Amino acid sequence: MIIPAIDLIDGSVVRLYQGDYQQKTQYQLAPVDVVHSYADQGAEWLHIVDLTGAKDTEKRQLSLIKEMVATKRMQFQCGGGIRSEQDVQQLLDIGVARVVIGSLAVKNPDLVQSWMQKYGAQHFVLALDININAAGEKRIATHGWQEDSGVELGKLLQSYLDFGVEQVLCTDISKDGTLQGPNYELYQEMVQQFPSVNWQASGGIGSLDDIEKLKPTNVQGVILGRALLEGKFTVEQAIALWQQRGAQ
């Protein structure tokens, strides 16, 4: 499935380069207009990152996100600095279908797993951003990629399997925002290792050819951000290409 992504800072649509707030591109687009545009082109899901809320949970852009969800044009998964059950509850209450959890899933897995039991694992996406070191270890970075958690991707996921984890959005940090192609080998390996998980590929996708090359990995979702905003191709073109992969 093709999943367009939108990053929000103070009500504006932006993109960060490799998670760096100092390397920000702002687009003259109204978020609700983007929802309608992507839905018109056939998108069934939108991935929202609340970058303002990630920095300061007191400033979470709930009213804007609620307005986007209220269009009922598609389903939404949303994250950005989820730190408490209240954060989860607020997003679910305004109609977000899946809450995206990053750093906390690594730092406090017991807490996140308790939420999965309480609300249902189908309402969560684990967003795991990794650096691959010289030894080939897939180490998860946290806190806006500023910290190396020391936790290896496979070991963490193993602990979530018993709690029914369904969705994992995995980003190779070195690829994000570069438009230079995703890490195909990473996704192929992860799909094979954890076949019960729906993998969402994210980072580096800059062309339709990149999407074509992702097909053999059998990822379930492809997150598209900067490439769409910069007109490299359209949502409609990406969906048409992805649907040619045959029944999954």
Per-chain mean pLDDT for the chain: 93
Residue 247 has a pLDDT of: 43
Neighbours of 70 (CB within 10 A): 12
What span, in angstroms and rounded, lies between the C-alpha atoms of 111 and 179? 35
Q: Scanning the structure block, which residue is given the tokens 């809320």?
A: 53
128 exposure class (CB count in 10 Å sphere: 0-12, 13-18, 19+) = buried
Determine, yes or no, domain membership for 169. yes
Lowest mean pLDDT across 44-58, 154-168, 191-205, 233-247? 233-247
pLDDT tens digits, residue range 200-245? 999 889 999 999 999 999 999 999 998 999 999 999 999 999 999 6
- pLDDT > 80? residue 95: yes
Determine, yes or no, domain membership for 170. yes
Neighbours of 208 (CB within 10 A): 17
Total domain count, the chain: 1
Between helices 62-69 and 85-93, what is the axis angle to 10°? 40
Range of the domain at 105: 2-243
Determine, yes or no, domain membership for 248. no
Determine, yes or no, domain membership for 44. yes
Q: What is the mean pLDDT of residues 39-58?
A: 95
Locate the DSSP E strands across 98-213.
Answer: 98-101, 124-132, 138-142, 147-152, 167-172, 198-202
Residue 248 has a pLDDT of: 44
Q: Contact 175/204 with Cβ under 8 angstroms?
A: yes
- Which residues are designated catalytic? 7, 129
Determine, yes or no, domain membership for 37. yes
Determine, yes or no, domain membership for 63. yes
Locate the DSSP E strands across the chain.
Answer: 2-9, 12-17, 20-27, 45-50, 75-79, 98-101, 124-132, 138-142, 147-152, 167-172, 198-202, 221-224
Domain of 73, CATH number, reads 3.20.20.70
Residue 227 has a pLDDT of: 92
Q: Contact 184/210 with Cβ under 8 angstroms?
A: no
